[in-house]
Amino acid sequence: MTDTPFRLDPSLSEPATSTDRALTGPVVDRRPADAIAARFTPAATSSPPTPVQHAHVAALQADVITLARSIDALVPDGRDKSIALTALEDVQMRANRGVFADAR
């Protein structure tokens, strides 16, 4: 048994059919609870970063900061600048996650 705080109904493990969608509305994620829990494993449960991983994260951060400064300097204030900086935050997060993917 896993330590997940919730359990999905076992009947939800079967793929949805077009009839299910027509009757129930939006498509429900029907993956087993363990697959969902594995997708959201917190960093606190992972091993500490290796020196190589730490160096990769630091290099990515430096590059992201350089690009963020360029965006801040060159793009006028407004929605597009805000979205660009938010997207850059997502890039950094996903790149960092990729650095640690082998450790999972």
Q: Does 33 share its domain with 68? A: no
Q: Does 55 share its domain with 100? A: yes
Position 14 pLDDT exceeds 70: no
Amino acid type, 94: R
Q: Does 69 share its domain with 103? A: yes
Q: Does 36 share its domain with 17? A: yes
Position 89 pLDDT exceeds 60: yes
Q: Does 95 share its domain with 70? A: yes
Confidence bin at 4 (pLDDT 50/70/90) = very low
pLDDT in tens, 21-30: 455 566 655 6
Position 60 pLDDT exceeds 70: yes
Amino acid type, 95: A
Q: Does 20 share its domain with 36? A: yes
Number of domains forming the structure of the chain = 2
Q: Does 55 share its domain with 88? A: yes
Predicted pLDDT of residue 66? 97
- pTM given for the model: 0.59
Q: Does 20 share its domain with 52? A: no
Query: Where in the sequence is the domain holding 99, given as residue range(s)?
Result: 47-104
pLDDT in tens, 21-57: 455 566 655 656 677 777 777 766 778 889 999 999 9
Query: Which of 41-45, 78-82, 90-94 has the least mean pLDDT?
Result: 41-45
SS3 40: coil
Q: Does 93 share its domain with 53? A: yes
Q: Does 25 share its domain with 61? A: no
Give start and end residues of each alpha helix (H) in 4-102: 18-24, 33-39, 51-74, 79-99
Q: Does 30 share its domain with 59? A: no
Q: Does 54 share its domain with 33? A: no
Residues 6+ apart with CB under 8 A from 43: 100
